[in-house]
């Protein structure tokens, strides 16, 4: 390494060419990276979906779900199996093992197992087996205006097709519309008049509408293709279909029996924007598309399309997710500019202008090196690695600062410039390698995070490691050359503007001289006096350090600072979901959504002047949705607020105000208020699972558990996911029916055809798939009398009144049956009111769960011994995340220890250095207390990363003490000189890191909310640890020496001198011989340690 550093310092062409290649290559690399909001990858899940229209949840569970679960049991790589059986469909989701499971292989194994099932119900559709991918929208558009449903649908589908024609758009989804249907409605009276059944009508329709190839006709001259083309695409085409042909030559045509019409599926869908009919259009991003380029094309299309739309129709951007990416880039550039300025000013306060400039230039060089690695590593530019670039902004100059400060110290001692640059870099080379590698190792635990969130967060250490490697290359191979030559920039500026150069130099010298005097006064007056007193009473700083750690633990255990997975960061929108009992008419759901819309618009009108700066709109858009096939009981309202930087009220408080304005819905099963569009995914603070097989017991136990949760102050949106379904009319075949030859299958089929419909066929009409349904008219499916009025057809063709062959029994239905790993389960869910502040009395999910486990759960399980209760959701995620992060943290600590042990050739000194890690944790927690926020998962990430940063200052101090001991100084002298001698380097590395993060901490923008807890942990932890390390580490070094002296007294019976028990001093004679050879080639007063050997202190040195 010595020769490489010396060669780079003496070869300006090599250093400048290397820097130019890195800067140009990195810039090109960043420009060529594909930009996306979040990285797209597999959710590590495989799902099986089976549709069985019209079937109840229990029928779905018994006939489909259980069979799938049994079939896939034992497939290698599956960790958990979740299933939902609801009316009309079954969904089975397999969560894969975190490591070692190949999703494609598991997908194929599941497909093979499901394909072996031959006992699915005949009316069920083919299973759809797929890997779950996390797809992200790029832009949400809303088409709205006073138009009929068919017109609105056709316009939306036309826009979809035009969007798909854009070069970078390949997936567009349309919500809020119903599918087309050809309805053939035959009354019971018509059937009886012609003595036919609905199944006969359905068969006649199916046979009359088809396209079928008939082979080929080969003549001697030509070959002809035979085709039968009779597919009917419109309702009018079915009028002449012959349903019944009599022997006398007459025929009964379909138009004589039925009402035939082109329509939509029966269950109405709700789509409304700002009170007008609307359709939501989702422009989705796939894995190979650039979100910013895609968004530009969509916005250009919107400008053209708006001019072609009728004046009454509008096409509005509801949410532009590419703006998040643009804002994140702006945040990075803005923070980089302000952070770079603050870093430069910090450097200038301690170093010369020339050194400060070259050290600060390491920031763009390191970032460019990262760009090269990202490009050749096949990475993308997304919000997560942009977070990492912002986080590492203040860290990349630490190694350059240490080298620059050491070179400056040598220059102040009269060493020639080139020699100072070479020797100063060589002396600090291994400590710099140690600081960079410990920081890299500290970020590695983020790779060990499990789950989907772990996959997202693993993007951060990728860019951190790449950037830190770039900073190491820059500081060892480029910076020495720049520090070895002076005057080049000054001569260039002087040649262009001589007057400006002279004025700038004069002003700069005066400012620099004033700062230098102030710093020197602080070094030699207040700090040295305080430092000497700390060394004298060395156990006071040590006791203070441990006392602060105990106080921090007390603050957490006492509830003065809490823990939340994602915190309560300000969001841009709120989603209000209303669920009524199944079977609720669509009109009830629509009225509820209108009530929420009116409350939001009223709040906007009343509050915009006091909440939004400049009186702008508080609510930028309100989109309501709901209904659809089998979902008339459910609806939601998506309310888009202006950005957090434009208003002075938190989104949580706005949500609470909306809750008060809307009021309760007494008939609703649940009303959920949740923020969306923030950095946190939608989760429940409290989530308990009740397992068992008896649905009645599950319902009762979960209801009691939910009632207990409502008794805790601060819980919100308490509910269970057990939903009562529509009341079921269960049919029983009477003995009289069996005598007539009617089977249960005959009864079920005739009832299904009449009330649900017989699907005669499906056809592709242009872009749309259309079902042709044959059933009773709607007016014959609205009352109990309609059921009793129908006739059941016997195998002999006779018609029998329904009441003579069947009996009806009404029972409560179940909307959904959820299972986990083969057991039925019901979830009890609740949120925590995060606007209640902090403190021992503030609502806390962990405390509530602990009290429930202790006081309520045991007696509940005594009443229901066949049930069991577990913590899931956010609690389970927290537990698993802590476990994986804890495992990674242990490996990181061991890695840091190993690196330090190898560098310092000691087992004890690395432990001494690593004692600063708890001090950083104290500072991180204290920073959250002062800032007024709870600890979050991102805070923990910051603390883990902090563990590799705080040791850097201790490395610098211990390195200096060891160097002085190697040179023959006494222990007291070496320790007393360590603080003042290395104060500048310690403060510089810490201040520049904090300066790089400082602009972010005072950002109110939506983009900064995600990063603030992590940045706060790093900044506050580093500040506290830096000032305490300046006193704690030297005092701990002397305390360790005291322990060694006491051990010697116990063994030898006398108190030895400090130098007698210090390993470095014991090896001084051995070092003197080696240093004498190196000193022969060094200037007077310089001991270069050219070979990069670090200080003594090795108990095991030969």
Calpha distance 136→36 (Å, rounded): 9
Per-residue model confidence as pLDDT tens digits over 488-535: 555 554 555 555 445 545 555 666 666 667 766 766 667 778 888 888
Q: Pick from 396, 358, 361, 360: which is nearest to 482 by CA?
A: 358
- Identify any residues that bridge with 775 across adjacent strands, giving them in sequence order: 185
String of DSSP letters for 540-597: HHHHHHHHHHHHHHHHHHTTSS-B-SSTT---SEEEEEEEPPTT--HHHHHHHHHHHH
Calpha distance 1008→1020 (Å, rounded): 17
Phi, psi dihedrals of residue 927, rounded to the nearest 5°: -60, -40
Alpha helices by DSSP H, listed for 361-397, are 362-376, 383-391
CB atoms within 10 A of CB 663: 10
The vertex-945 CA angle with 38 and 558, nearest 5°, equals: 105
CB 266 within 8 A of CB 631: no
Contacts of 48 (CB under 8 A, 6+ apart): 68, 72, 90, 91, 92, 94, 110, 114, 127, 128, 129
CB 352 within 8 A of CB 9: no
Q: Which two tokens stand for residue 369?
A: 């090196």
Q: What residue ranges of the chain have pLDDT lower than 50?
A: 493, 500-501, 504, 678-681, 1085, 1087-1102
pLDDT the model gives residue 483: 87
Alpha helices by DSSP H, listed for 675-827, are 695-710, 735-739, 744-752, 784-789, 802-805
Cα 879 to its chain centre, rounded Å, is 17
Residues in the chain, how many? 1102
Q: Which two tokens stand for residue 1056?
A: 């030895």
Calpha distance 519→209 (Å, rounded): 93
The vertex-1090 CA angle with 1084 and 1095, nearest 5°, equals: 95
Calpha distance 50→45 (Å, rounded): 17
Q: Provide the pairing of β-strand 806-814 with 171-175.
A: unpaired
Phi, psi dihedrals of residue 185, rounded to the nearest 5°: -110, 120
| Packing angle, helices 12-32 and 2-10, rounded to 10 | 90
CB 347 within 8 A of CB 359: yes
Q: Pick from 889, 98, 888: which is nearest to 448 by CA?
A: 888
Cα pseudo-dihedral 784, 790, 793, 799, rounded to 10: 130
Contacts of 1069 (CB under 8 A, 6+ apart): none
pLDDT the model gives residue 258: 92
CB atoms within 10 A of CB 511: 13
Calpha distance 230→206 (Å, rounded): 11
CB atoms within 10 A of CB 116: 7
Q: From its phi and psi, is residue 1022 left (phi > 0), alpha (psi between -120 and 50) or beta?
A: alpha
Cα 295 to its chain centre, rounded Å, is 22
Phi, psi dihedrals of residue 461, rounded to the nearest 5°: -65, -20
Please tell me if the domain spanning 1-32+351-486 has the same topology as the one spanning 537-566+906-1102. Answer: yes
Strands of the 758-765 sheet, one edge to the other: 258-264, 180-186, 768-775, 758-765
- Identify any residues that bridge with 829 across adjacent strands, giving them in sequence order: 687, 719
- Identify any residues that bridge with 772 across adjacent strands, giving them in sequence order: 182, 761
Segment (H or E) for 673: strand 670-676
Contacts of 955 (CB under 8 A, 6+ apart): 431, 434, 435, 438, 900, 913
Q: Which CATH class is domain 537-566+906-1102?
A: mainly alpha
Calpha distance 196→188 (Å, rounded): 10
Q: Pick from 1040, 1023, 1095: which is nearest to 1065 by CA?
A: 1095
Q: Which two tokens stand for residue 353?
A: 């202008």
pLDDT the model gives residue 678: 46
Three-class SS of 754-778: HHHHEEEEEEEECCEEEEEEEECCH
Calpha distance 285→96 (Å, rounded): 25
CB 572 within 8 A of CB 640: yes
CA distances from 328 to 37, 101, 1006 (A): 10, 34, 10
Calpha distance 259→330 (Å, rounded): 61
CB 629 within 8 A of CB 267: yes
Segment (H or E) for 724: strand 724-733
Per-residue model confidence as pLDDT tens digits over 534-558: 888 889 988 988 899 899 888 888 7
Q: What is the DSSP letter of 444?
A: G
Contacts of 1018 (CB under 8 A, 6+ apart): 391, 924, 942, 945, 946, 949, 993, 997
pLDDT the model gives residue 21: 94
Domain ranges for the chain: 1-32+351-486, 42-133, 180-206+230-264+726-814, 537-566+906-1102
Contacts of 984 (CB under 8 A, 6+ apart): 350, 405, 519, 523
Calpha distance 892→886 (Å, rounded): 10
Q: What is the DSSP letter of 455?
A: H
Tokens 């991918």 belong to which residue? 133
- Classified by CATH at the fold level, domain 180-206+230-264+726-814 comes out as 3.30.2090
CA distances from 868 to 723, 935, 1029 (A): 20, 31, 50
Cα 24 to its chain centre, rounded Å, is 32
CA distances from 914 to 244, 439, 906, 1074 (A): 91, 13, 13, 30
Calpha distance 3→874 (Å, rounded): 55
Calpha distance 105→325 (Å, rounded): 34
Which architecture characterizes domain 1-32+351-486 according to CATH? Up-down Bundle (1.20)
Calpha distance 917→951 (Å, rounded): 7
Q: Provide the pairing of β-strand 670-676 with 806-814.
A: unpaired
CB atoms within 10 A of CB 502: 11
The vertex-133 CA angle with 132 and 139, nearest 5°, equals: 135
Mean pLDDT taken over the chain: 83
Calpha distance 80→94 (Å, rounded): 6
Calpha distance 952→399 (Å, rounded): 9
Q: In the CATH scheme, what is the code of domain 42-133?
A: 3.30.70.1430
Calpha distance 985→1037 (Å, rounded): 19
HSE on the CB side for 184, CA within 13 Å?
Answer: 35
Per-residue model confidence as pLDDT tens digits over 726-762: 788 888 999 998 989 999 888 988 998 999 889 899 9
| Packing angle, helices 586-611 and 651-662, rounded to 10 | 130
């Amino acid at each position: 390494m010595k020769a490489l550093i010396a060669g780079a310092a003496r070869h300006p062409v090599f250093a400048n060419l290397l820097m130019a290649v890195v800067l140009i290559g990195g810039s090109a690399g960043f420009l060529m990276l594909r930009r996306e909001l979040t990285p797209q990858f597999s959710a590590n899940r495989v799902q099986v979906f089976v549709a069985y229209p019209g079937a109840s949840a229990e029928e779905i569970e018994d006939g489909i779900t259980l069979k799938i679960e049994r079939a896939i049991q034992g497939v290698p790589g599956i960790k958990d199996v979740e299933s939902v059986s609801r009316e009309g469909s079954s969904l089975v989701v397999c969560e894969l093992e975190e490591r070692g499971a190949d999703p494609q292989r598991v997908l194929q194994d599941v497909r093979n197992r499901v394909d072996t099932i031959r006992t699915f119900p005949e009316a069920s559709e083919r299973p759809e087996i797929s890997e779950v991918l996390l797809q992200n929208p790029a832009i949400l558009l809303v088409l709205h205006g006073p138009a009929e449903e068919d017109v609105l649908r056709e316009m939306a589908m036309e826009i979809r097709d035009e969007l798909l024609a854009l070069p970078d758009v390949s997936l567009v989804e349309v919500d809020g519309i119903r599918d087309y249907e050809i309805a053939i409605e035959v009354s019971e009276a018509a059937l009886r008049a012609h003595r036919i059944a609905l199944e006969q009508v359905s068969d006649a329709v199916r046979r009359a509408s088809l396209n079928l190839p008939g082979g080929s006709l080969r003549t001697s001259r030509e070959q002809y293709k035979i085709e039968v083309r009779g597919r009917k695409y419109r309702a009018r085409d079915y009028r002449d279909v012959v349903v019944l042909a009599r022997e006398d030559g007459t025929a009964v045509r379909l138009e004589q029996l039925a009402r035939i019409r082109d329509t939509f599926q029966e269950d109405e869908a709700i789509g409304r924007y700002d009170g007008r009919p609307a359709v939501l259009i989702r422009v989705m991003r796939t894995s190979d598309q650039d979100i910013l380029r895609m968004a530009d094309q969509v916005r250009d299309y919107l400008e053209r399309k708006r001019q072609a739309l009728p004046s009454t129709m509008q096409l509005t951007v509801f949410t532009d997710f590419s703006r998040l990416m643009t804002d994140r880039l702006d945040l990075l550039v803005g923070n980089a500019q302000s952070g770079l300025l603050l870093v430069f000013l910090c450097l200038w306060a301690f170093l010369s202008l020339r050194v400060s400039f070259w050290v600060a230039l390491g920031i763009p060089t390191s970032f460019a090196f990262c760009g090269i690695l990202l490009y050749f590593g096949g990475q993308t530019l997304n919000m997560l690695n942009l977070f990492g670039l912002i986080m590492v902004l203040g860290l990349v100059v630490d190694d350059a600062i240490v080298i620059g400060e050491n070179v400056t110290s040598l220059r102040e001692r009269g060493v020639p410039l080139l020699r100072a640059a070479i020797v100063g870099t060589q002396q600090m080379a291994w400590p710099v390698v140690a600081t960079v590698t410990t920081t890299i190792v500290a970020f590695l635990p983020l790779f060990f995070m499990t789950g989907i969130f772990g996959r997202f967060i693993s993007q951060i250490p990728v860019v951190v490691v790449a950037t830190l490697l770039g900073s190491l290359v820059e500081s060892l191979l480029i910076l020495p050359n720049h520090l070895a030559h002076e005057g080049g920039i000054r001569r260039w500026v002087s040649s262009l503007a001589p007057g400006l150069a002279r004025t700038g130099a004069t002003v700069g010298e005066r400012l620099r001289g004033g700062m230098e005097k102030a710093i020197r006064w602080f070094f030699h007056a207040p700090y040295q006096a305080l430092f000497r007193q700390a060394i004298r009473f060395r156990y006071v700083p040590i006791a203070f350090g441990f006392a602060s750690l105990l106080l921090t633990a007390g603050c957490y255990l006492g509830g003065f600072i809490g823990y939340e997975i994602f915190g309560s960061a300000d969001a841009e929108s709120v989603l209000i979901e209303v669920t009524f009992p199944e079977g609720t008419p669509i009109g009830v759901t629509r009225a509820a959504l209108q009530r929420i819309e009116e409350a939001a618009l009223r709040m906007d009108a009343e509050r915009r002047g006091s909440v939004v700066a400049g009186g702008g709109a508080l609510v930028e858009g309100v989109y309501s949705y709901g209904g659809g096939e089998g979902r008339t009981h459910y609806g939601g309202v998506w309310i888009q607020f202006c950005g957090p930087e434009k208003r002075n009220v938190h989104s949580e408080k706005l949500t609470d105000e909306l809750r008060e304005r809307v009021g309760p819905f007494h008939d609703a099963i649940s009303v959920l208020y949740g923020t969306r569009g923030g950095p946190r995914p939608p989760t429940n603070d409290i989530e308990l699972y009740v397992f068992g097989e008896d649905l009645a017991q599950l319902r009762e136990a979960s209801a009691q558990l939910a009632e207990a949760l409502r008794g805790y102050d601060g819980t919100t949106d308490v509910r269970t996911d057990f939903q009562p379904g529509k009341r079921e009319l269960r049919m029983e075949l009477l003995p009289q029916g069996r005598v007539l030859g009617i089977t249960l299958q005959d009864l079920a089929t005739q009832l299904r055809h009449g009330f649900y419909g017989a699907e005669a066929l499906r056809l592709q009409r242009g872009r749309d798939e259309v079902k042709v349904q044959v059933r009773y008219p709607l007016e014959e499916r609205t009352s109990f009398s309609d059921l009793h009025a129908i006739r059941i057809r016997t195998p002999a063709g006779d018609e029998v009144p329904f009441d003579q062959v069947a009996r009806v029994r009404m029972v409560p239905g179940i909307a959904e049956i959820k299972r986990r790993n083969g057991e039925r389960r019901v979830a009890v869910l609740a949120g925590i009111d995060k606007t209640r502040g902090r403190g021992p009395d503030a609502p806390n999910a962990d405390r509530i769960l602990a009290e429930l486990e202790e006081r309520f759960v045991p007696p509940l399980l005594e009443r229901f011994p066949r049930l069991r209760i577990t913590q899931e959701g956010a609690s389970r995620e927290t537990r698993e995340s802590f476990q994986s992060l804890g495992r990674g943290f242990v490996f990181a600590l061991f890695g840091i220890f190993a690196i330090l042990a190898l560098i310092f050739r000691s087992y004890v000194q690395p432990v001494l250095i690593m004692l600063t890690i708890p001090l950083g944790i104290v500072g991180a927690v204290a920073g959250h207390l002062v800032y007024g926020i709870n600890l979050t998962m991102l805070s923990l990430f910051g603390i883990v990363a902090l563990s590799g940063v705080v040791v850097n200052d201790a490395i610098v101090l211990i390195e200096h003490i060891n160097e002085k001991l190697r040179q023959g100084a006494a222990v007291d002298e070496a320790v007393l000189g360590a603080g003042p001698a290395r104060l500048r380097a310690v403060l510089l590395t810490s201040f520049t890191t904090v300066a790089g993060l400082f602009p972010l901490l005072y950002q109110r923008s939506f983009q900064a909310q995600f990063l603030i807890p992590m940045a706060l942990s790093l900044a506050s932890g580093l500040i506290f640890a830096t000032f305490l390390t300046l006193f704690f580490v030297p005092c701990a070094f002397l305390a360790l020496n005291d322990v060694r002296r006491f051990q010697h007294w116990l063994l030898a019976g006398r108190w030895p001198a400090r130098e007698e028990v210090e390993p470095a001093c014991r090896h001084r004679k051995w070092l003197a011989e080696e240093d004498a050879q190196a000193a022969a080639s060094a200037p007077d007063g310089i001991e270069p340690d050219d070979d990069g050997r670090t200080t003594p202190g090795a108990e095991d040195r030969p």
